Structure 1
């Protein structure tokens, strides 16, 4: 019996659709779209840097779509729960003596920061709160000592100096003030687990204490170190690949040294925002800040909890709206081993030896391409690492002057050799630990 025409046509359509689906599946399996895209990129020279022009502004619509993703519990089975798109882990369930289990945990933590929401919470990071109490006691002594020596104002990279308390380089100061407390605190094996998960071995840990008192104002939405601390003009000069590299060289975090109820202003976070390639260009734009204020999430923390996130995540410390509660956190910043040069160059003897020649060349040519190249070769162009107690972020900026900044200023103002060498020596001494 012949097949009815309508049924035959339907079967033909189904078969054709199946063929198309199969073909597309094959392309996807072979990653053909990525291959085509890569070939297109290899044959077209695009601008290496992001533009600051109004017509080329980062797309808020694309940013919205990216940050409206949902974190699935199935993706992170070792997490205790997913709260407001943030994976929350409970250290009391960790099996640190099981190497295979730790490896699976580190896979999850790495994925969260690189491809997932960009932030996770670790409950009970410190189970012995006596360790936190001992550190807090030492921090109180440090704060009192520093208040007696200064006017008490401490600069903040993304907020004005205020009545809040900040200890720059609390890592070193805790060790010098209370070695026993330092040893107990940094013997916590969980530091290695989270740091190596993202940065690999040979990382370097630094920290700063921040105590936000009642009425403390929120920070502006931002991204963090390295490129996050640049001015908008300087940010645009870094090639696009460096925007990505910057966020892969640092792990940000904080250990709660007090309970942090929501009203005390724990960190405001925008999950998935670290995935936005133009984020370092975008975070200062008013429309992105407005969207952040509409969409951020914030989780309460208990004393001893910790939070870790990508430095590229849009975030900001919240406002302490309580009347009588100061929230305290030890801010953790961990650097990759790959952020260091192979050899040490001392700028001061080089400038001492060639300053008259540099000045003569500048007087003859002004800040020519040749003079500019010489400044860049002789002086350090990056102001970190430094001592932020003695060299705080400059007014209106987020970083102190670099050696190159000083050299350019000295050339423009006609300094003699003794003055520029003295200034660089004073800078070096002020930057020392």
Structure 2
């Protein structure tokens, strides 16, 4: 039997459709819209920094944070609650490690920005030993003469806070410290987002009954600076900031909802202007309207992007203390290639610099020299001895000291003594 004839018009339509599909496929594969956008950007100079007076689109922020987390996107999760993927660590298999890391990275970078690891610790004796060490540290610090012990977003008296609980835990009880940080899940989560050679720091926070909620915010690095300081950083550095740190918390007590576990706004880490916008009243009001929170059990952990809008909740219980070991994991990148000790350089050049400043004033050349020689970033530091300065969440930097010294006419002995004191106070 001869093949059935096909009408010429149908053949033409099929061929045209096939050609169109090929063209659309090529456009999608080559990311032509992105290429055209990149070409446009390459030919037009735009403002490199955000402006403190600029308006930021709340409508765009609402659209971004109205997305839905699909369970099918994260097949290794046991559940998705309030847009947050939930994983059960007790069920992990070694063969799933790379796939799990892929899901974690996707969550933090492209997805809702936060996930929960149930049963991050399964041996409660490990947590109990750590809690005993922390209680001993808190008691010994409270017995010391009262000083200017700062806290982020809350009066120091409202919480029991241990700065650098990582180091203090080891010194107080090395056995429980080894048991605690031998948990391989720390490495799995950290490497999933930051890659190898990361560095851990932690702070214990115990929120007492009646402890007030925090204002919504972003975290380290740019989240710890004032709006004016943040506006000095080019826009791509705002994106880079969220890639340099991983935030987390291990529950050292149960955390029922009435105790105020962390309030979270899924997908908000993707808002490019977020480090500028989170201080705006309309963004905080929207956060208060839309945030979610999940109860945690002792031994659970939550991890999230530092750019996620979040805030500790209010402890509305009458007699329950909410306890968490807060975690910041830092990327290996962002370190200088060589170690530069600014103190001897300042000592050698101060007389020349101060004379130049006396003759010319605090001009661009003087400021450029200060920026080249002195450390402009106050971290890492010892927040017990150098609490956050008023108006921000960071203490004074070496550059701040030198500019103040030049303005006030300090001599070499005065400025080197101040820098030496700062360095000593910043040590462990």
2-side partners of 1:356 and 1:30: how far apart? 59
Corresponding residue of 2:75: 77
Q: Is contact 1:362–1:411 with CA below 8 Å preserved after alignment?
A: yes
Corresponding residue of 2:265: 270
**Shift of residue 10 of structure 1?**
12
How do residues 32-51 of structure 1 correspond to structure 2 at under 5 angstroms?
32-51=32-51
Q: Is contact 1:226–1:246 with CA below 8 Å preserved after alignment?
A: yes
How do residues 20-59 of structure 1 correspond to structure 2 at under 5 angstroms?
23-53=23-53, 56-59=54-57
Q: Secondary structure at the match of 1:162?
A: helix
2-side partners of 1:66 and 1:233: how far apart? 25
2-side partners of 1:16 and 1:48: how far apart? 45
**Shift of residue 237 of structure 1?**
0.5
**Shift of residue 12 of structure 1?**
10
2-side partners of 1:83 and 1:17: how far apart? 42
Alpha-carbon distance change, 367 to 379 in structure 1, aligned in 2, over 3 angstroms: same
2-side partners of 1:149 and 1:345: how far apart? 35
Corresponding residue of 2:131: 136
Q: Secondary structure at the match of 1:318?
A: coil
2-side partners of 1:89 and 1:153: how far apart? 40
Could you list the per-position Cα deviations for residues 216-255 of structure 1 after superposition, in whole angstroms to 9, with x for gaps in the alignment? 0111111111111111011011011111111101000000
How do residues 111-122 of structure 1 correspond to structure 2 at under 5 angstroms?
111-122=106-117
Q: Secondary structure at the match of 2:333?
A: helix
1-side partners of 2:38 and 2:385: how far apart? 48
2-side partners of 1:218 and 1:270: how far apart? 15
Corresponding residue of 2:331: 336
**Shift of residue 15 of structure 1?**
9.4
TM-score calculated relative to the size of structure 1: 0.93
Matched, 1:418 2:418: no
Matched, 1:300 2:324: no
Matched, 1:409 2:404: yes
Q: Is contact 1:153–1:163 with CA below 8 Å preserved after alignment?
A: no
Corresponding residue of 1:68: 66
Corresponding residue of 1:233: 228
**Shift of residue 159 of structure 1?**
2.8
Q: Is contact 2:224–2:394 with CA below 8 Å preserved after alignment?
A: yes
Q: Secondary structure at the match of 1:109?
A: helix
**Shift of residue 26 of structure 1?**
4.0
Corresponding residue of 2:151: 156
Q: Secondary structure at the match of 1:339?
A: coil
Could you list the per-position Cα deviations for residues 344-403 of structure 1 after superposition, in whole angstroms to 9, with x for gaps in the alignment? 111211111111111111111111000000111121000000000000101232100000
Matched, 1:366 2:361: yes
Corresponding residue of 2:320: 325
Q: Secondary structure at the match of 2:424?
A: helix
1-side partners of 2:87 and 2:67: how far apart? 20
Q: Is contact 1:146–1:152 with CA below 8 Å preserved after alignment?
A: no
Structure 2: state its 5+ residue gaps.
1-7
**Shift of residue 19 of structure 1?**
7.0
Corresponding residue of 2:3: none
Q: Is contact 1:154–1:162 with CA below 8 Å preserved after alignment?
A: no
Could you list the per-position Cα deviations for residues 102-148 of structure 1 after superposition, in whole angstroms to 9, with x for gaps in the alignment? 00000000100010000000000000011000000000000000001
2-side partners of 1:47 and 1:118: how far apart? 28
Higher alpha-carbon deviation: 359-368 or 114-123 = 359-368
Q: Secondary structure at the match of 1:425?
A: helix
Could you list the per-position Cα deviations for residues 40-93 of structure 1 after superposition, in whole angstroms to 9, with x for gaps in the alignment? 11111111111222xx32111000000000000000000010000000000111
Corresponding residue of 2:395: 400
1-side partners of 2:305 and 2:400: how far apart? 29
Alpha-carbon distance change, 285 to 9 in structure 1, aligned in 2, over 3 angstroms: farther
Higher alpha-carbon deviation: 384-393 or 414-423 = 414-423
Corresponding residue of 2:309: 314
**Shift of residue 31 of structure 1?**
1.6
Structure 1: state its 5+ residue gaps.
1-7
Q: Is contact 2:226–2:391 with CA below 8 Å preserved after alignment?
A: no
Q: Secondary structure at the match of 2:143?
A: helix
2-side partners of 1:198 and 1:292: how far apart? 25
2-side partners of 1:412 and 1:18: how far apart? 73
Q: What RMSD over aligned residues (CA atoms) do the two structures have, in Å? A: 1.9
